[in-house]
Amino acid sequence: MNSGARLVLLGRQGAGKGTQCVRLSRHFVVPHISTGDMLRAAVREGTELGLMAKAVIDAGNLVGDDIMIGLVAERIQADDARDRGYILDGFPRTVAQAVSLDEITASHPLDVVVDLVVPRDLVLSRLSARRVCRDCGANFQATGTEPSPWTCENCGGDVVQRDDDTPDAINKRLDLYETQTQPLIDFYGESGRLAQIDGVGSPDEVFARLTKAVEQRL
Ligand code: AP5
Ligand code: MG
């Protein structure tokens, strides 16, 4: 078995982070830690965090840095992540989060930060066609020929559109990416930790580029 990895995946909304992290997690045998999935689980469970986060997420805004840093700090100290590493999807997405992540991981630093590069017009069309399984979170692309209701081929759950995949929320999220998250490209680039990978192509093609780039750095 390989010895795990400590990875961060950056990339615009719809760049394919979730899609590729599922595969990377199997490949490197490390947990896929998606802050979006953690927040959506809290919303489903009706926890205090979920009740607070729902309106923020649906409007396409960012949940506060302190809350997100606390969530991730706790998760990456769990046994599975501490021993073999992890793939972070959706965190950090502000400079304050990135600075805190460096502090939290000082004793076991990140191996590589990948920026999955996909142009804005292409992510817009991917997001408007995205459908997700409410139960297992699997992603699908709608073609207009699906049955209604649509059930998940993996687990039989309902396949629906995410509440934040409305045109207004998508545009808001993409604007926030430019102002809040794009600065992380310089932050990691200047410290020599960044690999920029072309995210255009089939999921298999993108995965092959990603594993090659990560393995070169491990
Ligand atoms: P989050 O869940 O992280 O959503 P996001 O940032 O909007 O990113 P997406 O999940 O939309 O994009 P993705 O890159 O994962 O794309 P996917 O693989 O699905 O966060 C949700 C919200 O939570 C945030 O807006 C915020 O409110 C809050 N939040 C989360 N983390 C936070 C933090 N750290 N700080 C503050 N707030 C936070 O792919 C998209 C579609 O394209 C899919 O349908 C897929 O099937 C398709 N696709 C993927 N790859 C390909 C390909 N190669 N070719 C064709 N289609 C493809
Ligand atoms: Mg995602």
Model pLDDT, residue 31: 97
Which pLDDT does position 39 carry in this prediction? Answer: 96
Residue 1 has pLDDT above 80, yes or no: no
Average pLDDT, the chain: 95
In CATH terms, 5-31+78-217 corresponds, of 2.40.100.10, 3.40.50.300, 3.40.50.1000, 1.10.10.10, to 3.40.50.300
Q: Whose CA is nearest to atom 9 of ligand 1?
A: 13
Query: What does 188-202 look like in DSSP terms, one character per residue?
Result: HHHTT-EEEEE--S-
pLDDT cut 90: percent of the chain above it:
94
Helices 203-217 and 17-28: crossing angle, nearest 10°?
A: 50
Which of 148, 9, 183, 174 has its CA nearest to residue 90? 9
Mean pLDDT of 6-10: 98
Q: How many angstroms is it from 176 CA to the middle of ligand 2?
A: 15
Q: Is 26 exposed, middle or buried (0-12, 13-18, 19+ CB in 10 A)?
A: exposed
Q: How far is the CA of 133 from the centre of ligand 2 (A)?
A: 13
Give tens-digit pLDDT for 151-173: 999 999 999 999 999 999 999 99
Per-domain boundaries in the chain: 5-31+78-217
Best mutation site among 126, 131, 165 for ligand 1, i.e. most ligand atoms within 8 A of its Cβ?
A: 126
Evaluated on CA atoms 166, 168, 171, 175, the torsion sign reads negative
Q: Does residue 137 carry a pLDDT above 90? A: no
What pLDDT score does 3 carry?
84
Question: Near ion ligand 2, which residues have CB within 5 Å?
Answer: 18
Is the shortest distance between the CB of 32 and ligand 1 below 6 Å? no
C-alpha span between 147 and 200 (Å, rounded): 28
**Can you tell me the mean pLDDT for 130-154?**
92
State pLDDT tens for residues 45-68: 999 999 999 999 999 999 999 999
Closest CA to 206 of 36, 35, 22, 29: 22
Catalytic residues: 17, 93, 130, 162, 173
Give this prediction's pTM: 0.95
H-helix or E-strand containing 75? helix 65-76
Say yes or no: CB of residue 31 within 6 Å of ligand 1. Answer: no
Where is pLDDT greater, at 122 or 2? Answer: 122
Distance 106 CA to ligand 2 centre (A): 26
- Please tell me if the CB atom of residue 69 comes closer than 6 angstroms to any atom of ligand 1: no
Instruction: Categorize the per-residue pLDDT at 135 as very low, low, confident or very high, splitting at 50, 70 and 90.
Output: confident
Enclosing H/E stretch for 160:
strand 159-160
